[in-house]
A and B are shown apart, each in its own frame.
Chain A
Amino acid sequence: MMKRRSWQEYQKEIADDRYYYARSCIRQNFFPGSEKAFIEILQNDLGKDLLDDPKHSSCTGIGYHSDIVPLETIMTVVARQFALMNEAGYENFVTSCITSFGIYCEVLSTWNEFPETEEKTRENLFKATGREFRKPASVAHTSDVMFHFREEIAARAKKRLVNAVTGEPLKVVEHIGCHYAKIFPKSGIGGSEFPYVLAGMIESWGGEVVDYPERRHCCGFGFRNYLVQANRGYSIANSHKKLESMAPYKPDFIVANCPGCAMFLDKWQYAIAEMEGTTYGQNGHGIPVLTYEEMAGLVLGYDPWALGIQMHQVDVEPLLDKMGIEYDPAAKYLGRNGKYIGKPASAVVNCCPTDTIYDIRE
């Protein structure tokens, strides 16, 4: 078990109910099932009030961190989100993206530190939309909320993060996402050095957290360093560094706090396997990468395909098998209402070594 001592010192208020939900550009693109699962877990399993307001927009954070969206602009976009929340009668803002979470924390802190920027934002928002806003009572990342209810989820667990055959806890690499707590360490559960938001879930649900040399290193997104094709060497090099660093610990899976990190740690495993034939998981597979919503969903007994796990590049089946989760291999790549829509082409990261090949798609 990974030692830590200070996480209790980094606590924050997480509201118990009545959340205003802000979607994430990256999560809905790559993990739409995770968003759906989060809402279902909150509303159905836990009976909470969560509003998915069609009027809200992107926080424009990717544009801001690509330096094309000015600070004044993103502050006004954020102010509009707060105004929508006020108008809907909510005061607990919950965002599903680490970049966004960092943005909301940064904007609130900037307004606090430089009050003239808040005044200017109020002017801009009113001029552009006629709206006014009050600041939220609380701002949380969706994983904070999941952490908050981890014991309730554990009590309803159908599966645990335990090897169903050996009874051993699964070894889990948690990746937090830089903007969760590096910008404002006090805004993240456990702080920036030993964040506990995912580790808390993992431990409550039976798994064991793996500490490894590059644990705190960036996944390699680096905004313009991925978004511009010419710069992607930066991105893959940083993911590569992390994967090389964690592989000797033989983790059963990676769980990521940030949808971007989850996507990169998944996709770059594919690219590395295609480029140099290296895979980091067991038996020639990649290391499965989950979002925490998927992790929670599996624990609660959701069907893996209903969670959207088929949208990952790296197959998650080895993990499902370890957890003793039943699934229908034939249903993996079906469309709506069981419609057959073909299957993805085979890839190195999904193939076993040739002597043990059993690619279910072939």
Chain B
Amino acid sequence: MGKYFDMLMEDVRAREGLHACMNCGVCTGVCPAAEFYNYDPRQIVSIVQTRDDDAIEALLKSDTIWYCGECMSCRPRCPRGNTPGYVIQALRTLSQKLGFFVESEKGRQQLALKRIIGENILRTGYCLVPRLIKPELHPEQGTVWQWIYDHDKEVYGQFSPVYMRHGAGALRRIDEDSLAEIRRIFDVSGGSEMFETIEKHSDRKAREMGYEEGADQQYLMDVFCNNSNEHY
């Protein structure tokens, strides 16, 4: 009893985010995820504060903890000074550390986020760059984005003298020394380890689910695109 709770409380966000909840529901009342999914941040906090290992393990393996959009609308309103969003962040981090995230559809998406955003950070020093936002994967970006994407050097060239080149300005290429520093920061601070953990458990789960090549491009595209529509 309390093992997972103690692990959660090693995360300063859980300590900051959960004091004692009286189940008033102001967090859920204003939560964009609660309006969309079958999701209730109050209940998550309430479960965590039971300190019940079975209940917390079930949460760590569930879709539920992955619905939150981390908008933090819950934070300024809680009359007990809790931040359900922080508790979610701690739960997600622990779920990944323990490899539980692959047990849910929404959790498995972490691989896509790691491969798309995470690897782009190490490659370019930015979370995203125009070439990453491929129109075929982003139909919602519209016809103007397609035009920008097709003519990126011409369009961005009007606003930046250094588009994809070294120097100061928008969308510059970040110099190699700086990128090497970013990568070493990831190595020494647990970022790289988190990436490896996500890859390792995703590969295991992919094989378990019948992907013979493990967490390959097909698995990636499946976790990125597929929605069982059982979340509402």
Check if A54 sits within 8 Å of B141, measured CB to CB.
Answer: no
Given A54-B175, A234-B37: A225 and B69 interface contact (C-beta under 8 Å) = yes
CA of A336 to CA of B30, assembled, Å = 46
Given A69-B191, A222-B70, A230-B224: A26 and B128 interface contact (C-beta under 8 Å) = yes
**How far in angstroms is the closest Cβ of chain B from A122?**
12
**How far in angstroms is the closest Cβ of chain B from A310?**
8
Given A54-B172, A230-B109: A127 and B188 interface contact (C-beta under 8 Å) = yes
Residue of B nearest to A51 (CB): B168
Complex interface residues of chain A between 155 and 190 (CB less than 8 A to chain B): 178-179, 181-183, 185
Interface contacts beyond A237-B35, A335-B155: sample of 9 additional A-B pairs, CB < 8 Å, sorted by A = A28-B160, A55-B175, A63-B113, A63-B118, A69-B194, A182-B75, A183-B76, A344-B143, A346-B143
- Which residues on B sit within 8 Å (CB–CB) of A61? 127
- Which residues on A sit within 8 Å (CB–CB) of B188? 76, 124, 127-128
Per-residue CB contact flags for chain B residues 104-130 toward chain A (1 = under 8 Å, else 0) read: 001001101110111001000111111
Say whether B64 faces chain A, with CB atoms less than 8 Å apart. no
Check if A68 sits within 8 Å of B36, measured CB to CB.
Answer: no
Residues of B within 8 A of A (CB): 11-13, 15-16, 30, 32-33, 35-37, 66-73, 75-76, 89, 92-93, 96, 106, 109-110, 112-114, 116-118, 121, 125-130, 133, 137, 139-148, 150-151, 154-160, 166-172, 174-175, 178-179, 181-182, 184-191, 194-195, 198, 223-227
**How far in angstroms is the closest Cβ of chain A from B73?**
6
Say whether A136 faces chain B, with CB atoms less than 8 Å apart. no
Check if B110 sits within 8 Å of A52, measured CB to CB.
Answer: no
Check if A238 sits within 8 Å of B36, measured CB to CB.
Answer: yes
Given A29-B128, A267-B140, A268-B140: A217 and B32 interface contact (C-beta under 8 Å) = yes
Check if B224 sits within 8 Å of A229, measured CB to CB.
Answer: yes
| Selected contact of A23 from candidates B33, B75, B170, CB within 8 Å | B170
Given A36-B160, A124-B185: A232 and B140 interface contact (C-beta under 8 Å) = yes
Check if A125 sits within 8 Å of B69, measured CB to CB.
Answer: no
How many chain A residues touch B (CB < 8 A): the figure is: 93
Per-residue CB contact flags for chain A residues 45-70 toward chain B (1 = under 8 Å, else 0) read: 00000001111111011110111111
9-residue interface stretch from A109-117, A205-213, A249-257:
A109-117
Check if A57 sits within 8 Å of B182, measured CB to CB.
Answer: yes
Residue of A nearest to B124 (CB): A58
Say whether A17 faces chain B, with CB atoms less than 8 Å apart. no
Given A68-B110, A183-B72, A271-B140: A238 and B32 interface contact (C-beta under 8 Å) = yes
| Selected contact of A73 from candidates B70, B126, B179, B189, CB within 8 Å | B189
Check if A182 sits within 8 Å of B127, measured CB to CB.
Answer: no
- Which residues on B sit within 8 Å (CB–CB) of A65? 70
| Selected contact of A129 from candidates B73, B184, B223, CB within 8 Å | B184
